């Protein structure tokens, strides 16, 4: 998955972003072709990762990644 420069603003490495998306425990589709993934880093810390879905082939570009904030807890299983 490709990452925009903005994805690294909070210091999350690309390997952790990829791990969180591949192992997401919750996915929430937003308006305007944005998607939120909640998943663990390689160390098990929950991350929030936002992607923008681009073009007809629906390629996702990671635009945001950081430690998961409490406001997304409701999206987790059993949340």
Neighbouring residues of 9: CB distance < 8 A, sequence distance ≥ 6 = 64, 66
Q: CA geometry: angle at 67 spanning 65 and 68, to 5°?
A: 100
* Spatial contact of 45 and 34, defined as CB atoms under 8 Å apart: no
Domain ranges of the chain: 2-70
The tens digit of pLDDT for each residue in 18-33 reads 999 999 999 999 988 9
The tens digit of pLDDT for each residue in 11-65 reads 999 999 999 999 999 999 998 899 999 999 999 999 999 999 887 777 899 999 9
DSSP state of 71: G
Q: Is the pLDDT of residue 79 over 80?
A: no
């Amino acid at each position: 998955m490709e990452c925009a420069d903005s994805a690294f603003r909070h210091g999350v490495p690309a390997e952790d972003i990829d791990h969180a998306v591949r192992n997401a425990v919750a996915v929430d589709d937003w308006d305007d072709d944005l998607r939120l993934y909640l998943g663990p880093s390689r160390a098990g810390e929950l991350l929030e990762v936002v992607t923008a879905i681009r073009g007809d082939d629906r390629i996702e570009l990671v635009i945001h990644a950081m430690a998961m904030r409490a406001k997304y807890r409701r999206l987790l299983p059993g949340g």
